[in-house]
Amino acid sequence: MSPSLCVTVRLTSPPLVTLGGVSKREGKKMGLLSILRKLKSTPDQEVRILLLGLDNGGKTTLLKQLASEDISHITPTQGFNIKSVQSQGFKLNVWDIGGQRKIRPYWRNYFENTDVLIYVIDSADRKRFEETGQELAELLDEEKLSGVPVLIFANKQDLLTAAPASEIAEGLNLHTIRDRMWQIQSCSALTGEGIQEGMNWVCKSVNSKKK
């Protein structure tokens, strides 16, 4: 890796989700393990979910919502961080990408054996729809991600300026995708709305793929 990239890579420790942990918000919404437990069909199954998207899309907030963590203090990601959650046979690899366009080619180092791709879009940042659409199209063309189900989270729906999921789907020509299962889900990582519905779809797609 070229020294000019000034990249920092960090693995979170301790894990975002602890073994046997119970979310304080369990009654309000499902935590990460509560959702992913539906995926488990064998004792040692590893579910690899890759979470990608442009910087400022809301990936960090989304991850914290999934892990039932406090989202009141979110700071912009500098460079990029690799976060890994592993517990009870599940593994969630998360790429939290900063703004450097030249870093994105390194995403492909983590495509191997991905079960589901989750792609996060800032629905309120219309100026970057073309850029995020191009990045998504390139991901769908990757040989190592061939046939991998993709969930697109149309994030930041709590903002008045957010484009609806249907508009984003049309603009990105998602309906032309024929080589895999896909779904676009409106959500707000800030409020948690729509996240559970999206993860339920992930559960169904992974179970269907593994049959």
Q: Among candidates 136, 118, 132, which has minimal Cα distance to 185?
A: 118
* 157 annotated as ligand-binding: yes
54 is in an annotated binding site: yes
- What tokens does 148 get? 């991998």
Q: How far apart are CA 114 and CA 46, in angstroms?
A: 10
Distance of alpha carbon 187 from alpha carbon 152, whole angstroms: 10
Q: Catalytic residues, which ones? A: 100
Determine if residue 204 is labeled as part of a ligand binding site.
no
Pair 200, 208: CB distance under 8 Å: no
**Is 60 part of any known ligand binding site?**
yes
Residue 5 in marked binding region: no
Task: Give the largest Cα separation in the chain, rounded.
Answer: 48
Nearest to 163 by CA among 175, 152, 155: 155
Cα(18)–Cα(67) distance, integer angstroms: 9
113 known member of a binding site: no
Residue 179 assigned as binding residue: no
Q: Is 56 annotated as a binding residue?
A: yes
> Which amino acids are annotated as binding site for GTP, given as ranges?
53-60, 99, 155-158
> Which amino acids are annotated as binding site for Mg(2+), given as ranges?
60, 77
> Which amino acids are annotated as binding site, given as ranges?
53-60, 77, 99, 155-158
